[in-house]
Structure 1
Amino acid sequence: KTGPDPLGVIDGFAPMPTSISLSAFPNPFNSELTLDVSGFTHEVRVSLLNVLGQEVEVIHNGVLSGKRIHYAASATMSSGVYFVKAEDALNVRMKKVVFLK
């Protein structure tokens, strides 16, 4: 038999995590939001988007040291619906949140 081994392992590829998740609480929130981000294996960019999909703020950009991120809304932020987006090189998760002043 010649040719590649169909059951071989390709070096350089990280295994896919079993569970990627993003949760936000309390929701709705009025000043502070806690984000639980888990399963991401690379640098993670967590951002806040408005309903038009425009980035309002970058909450985190880099390797996560834990699974929990605390976000404090700015004083100029308007009440309304937003989306928290967590993404790495392989995965994207979004969560709808509501901000009430």
Structure 2
Amino acid sequence: MQILGDQIKENSKLREKLDNLVDDYVKQLEASCKMRPLGPTAHPIQTPDDTISPYLSDAMLYWITMMNQRLEDLEKRVKKMEELMLEQLEA
């Protein structure tokens, strides 16, 4: 019972760390959204029916790239957290 209790405590600590990590990530995304590029863009988006989209193409490319980088970073951090959790369970 003591071992199980210790593992539950450790898992709770790791879960709290993971929650804090996700909270920090959300805060970074919110801060990034405030840096959104404004104004017209140089490169319009070509739509499938060969018309020009009225939406901001440079901003869209910027955000797709930014969000992909952030998601990759988050995935790395979550994998590291999972590895730490597995190490704790094996110990």
| TM-score, with length taken from structure 2 | 0.22
Q: Larger % of strand: which?
A: 1
Q: Larger % of helix: which?
A: 2
Larger-Rg structure: 2
| TM-score, with length taken from structure 1 | 0.21
